[in-house]
Structure 1
Amino acid sequence: MRGFGDLEAVLMDRLWDRDVDATTVRELFDELTAEREIAYTTVMSTMDNLHRKGWLAREREGRAYRYWPTITREEHSARLMHEALHVGGRADLVLNHFVDRISDDEFAGLRAALRQVAVRRTEAS
């Protein structure tokens, strides 16, 4: 797995930030044109690419499609972290370097997450 291209990242961020379940190309295009010059077809083809890659699901509504993300922003971030852990050399050293660089609040969050996972794994076995 890899990160997104520049426009893909912008579109995914906007989709993740939305309060609605699904969005059309036109809705995202109208938002983007308020901030920068971009062609409708560029937004449409990028959203189609994200759909083909499995990042977006869609359903037809009239002549248009409504799109929504297939995973959350947090799930995406976790996948990127998992990939980095496995391509960055020795996993134990990568983890040590990572933990050395996080804040006290992030460290507390990590400890809480590890406790939750330990409980779930214990209950599952």
Structure 2
Amino acid sequence: MGDYRLPISVKGVLLDASDRICLLKNERNQWELPGGRLERGESPEQALVREIREELGIQVLISHLLDTWIFEVLPGKEVLIVTYRCYWDGEGQIERSEEHEALEWFSLDDLKGIEFPDGYQKAVQKSLDR
């Protein structure tokens, strides 16, 4: 079977007071949750806090694990996605980094009309199931 290794990407479901989800548009013109690669020596939670600070300029609190799934980002290129529910303490201002093309807040209904992977959709749904 050989070595089967996957990069790990930690993503956050960040909702506002109206239960709208914060999404970023990547270089492949797809909407995604904020977050990114796990670096050596970091816990998934530490990676997510760091990535969101880099991408949105804010500090978040990590609540709980929502889901894990394998995503084929490009043909033959898979990534293990780990999603967490997270909360913003309201301090500072959300600002998109140069890493992404756009930042928008979407309602659950809005998600049906955009390019958004099923695995992310499932994590958002789980975060809203109270």
TM-score by length of 1: 0.26
Larger Rg: 1
TM-score by length of 2: 0.25
Greater fraction of residues in helix = 1
Greater fraction of residues in strand = 2
Higher relative contact order (CA 8 A, sep 6+): 2
